[in-house]
Amino acid sequence: MTSKKTPRQLLAGVDKKIISLLEERERIIATVRTAASRKKTSVPPPLSTLSAVTSKTLSRASMQQVFGEIEAVTRAERTTAPIAYLGPEATFNHLAVLRRFGKKANTLPVAGISMIFKMVENGSAAYGVVPIENSTEGVVTHALDMFLDTHCVIIGELFLPIHLNLISREKDTSRIKKVYSHPQPLAQCRLWLENNIPGAQLIESSSTAAAVQLIRHKKGAAAIANEIAAETYAVPIRNKNIEDCTNNLTRFLIIAPHMTAMPKTGKDKTSVVCLVKRSTKSGSLHRLLTPLAKNKVNMTKIESRPSRKKVWEYMFYIDMLGHYQQPIIARTLRAMERECSLLKILGSYPYGTHD
């Protein structure tokens, strides 16, 4: 007669299955990497299949965190190329990388957005994470321009909620005379500061992390930054979520060096950049966008930028829902291309969620 298994034994059995599945996952990734190397294409990015997975008990954010940690650990075993992001450490850019790739990810803070693109393009970084727009501050135009200056493409996106905190050694906020932070957080907390620390001098810093580092030994000073900065530099948070706008989000893009045929998930977004043909006729932009309406393709964003090649010539960056390999998207892009002197597909990738 067999004895009934104890809860500990049952858990051990489940853990054994998990390890076996992780090993199988790594074997599949190795096969994909070998095939990609032969075809000289990029490997699909981590977690690219996760958007098609649902759970009855875990939220999407929780699944991203769990699988991000799994990917970070297994990545460390198979590659030394880092993930480049706009530094320094403990900023929202750093937090976005950790959310997407896990806390054990091999990360590299760099000094500028252009450097991220160049490192990804030349292979010294496996991926790059760049901010592209903020829901209250608008588009990061320099990041858009770099897609024309390099061959980098988009393989994913992440929406990061921006929560700002007052960080200080001072327990009594009435003793705070100076508040340091990056210009954007200072602007995003202006009403709270006026109501709670009236008369405090607002001093701009190069980043939120630099602000916390600067005030960690100062009396009568505070910084506005995220929780990871407070944790990194061991300075207490005095007031949480002091941002004036509670639904502030920053959208980040994950970039790779080559176009990758990302698998269709049914929840995809395609990004393109277009240069409309020069014409003396009116309505050129209308003609460019007509195929989207005709084929009932949802355009989620359009942004114009100077082409920097000719005066008063503009590029249009467009996001649309769907995958470029879907017949209706392919047909739409072909029709749009007839109105362009240049149409470049920047990538099709699972679209991010706001949870």
Separation between Cα atoms, residue 64 and residue 59, nearest integer Å = 9
The owner of tokens 């049914």 is 266
pLDDT of amino acid 196:
97
Backbone angles phi, psi at 189, to 5 degrees: -120, 15
The beta strands (E) that lie in the chain are given as 83-86, 107-110, 127-134, 138-139, 153-161, 165-168, 178-181, 201-204, 221-225, 237-239, 249-256, 268-276, 299-306, 314-321, 340-350
Give CA angle at 150 (144, 154), nearest 5°: 60
Q: How far is CA 26 from CA 13, 62, 70, 77, in A?
A: 20, 22, 11, 10
* The pair of three-digit structure tokens given for residue 111, joined into one six-digit string: 């000094």
Whether 229 and 165 have beta carbons less than 8 Å apart is answered as no
Which domains can be identified in the chain, with CATH numbers? 27-162+249-256 (3.40.190.10), 165-239 (3.40.190.10), 268-350 (3.30.70.260)
Q: Which residues, 6 or more positions from 32, have their beta carbon under 8 angstroms from its beta carbon?
A: 43, 44
* The pair of three-digit structure tokens given for residue 163, joined into one six-digit string: 């929560």
Taking only the tens of pLDDT, the chain with its 355 residues reads 456 888 888 888 888 888 888 878 877 877 776 776 666 555 565 566 666 677 777 776 677 667 766 766 666 555 568 999 999 999 999 999 998 888 888 899 999 999 999 999 988 998 999 999 988 888 999 999 999 889 999 999 999 999 999 999 999 999 999 999 999 899 999 999 999 999 999 999 999 999 999 999 999 999 999 999 999 999 999 999 999 988 889 999 999 987 665 678 889 999 999 998 876 567 889 999 999 999 999 999 999 998 877 777 789 999 999 999 999 999 999 999 999 989 999 999 998 876 5
* The pair of three-digit structure tokens given for residue 242, joined into one six-digit string: 């002091």
pLDDT of amino acid 258:
76
Whether 160 and 99 have beta carbons less than 8 Å apart is answered as yes
SS3 letters across 18-55: HHHHHHHHHHHHHHHHHHHHHHCCCCCCCCCCHHHCCC
Task: Find out whether the peptide bond into 185 is cis, omega within 30 degrees of 0.
Answer: no
Strand arrangement of the beta sheet that strand 314-321 belongs to: 299-306, 314-321, 268-276, 340-350
Separation between Cα atoms, residue 227 and residue 235, nearest integer Å = 10
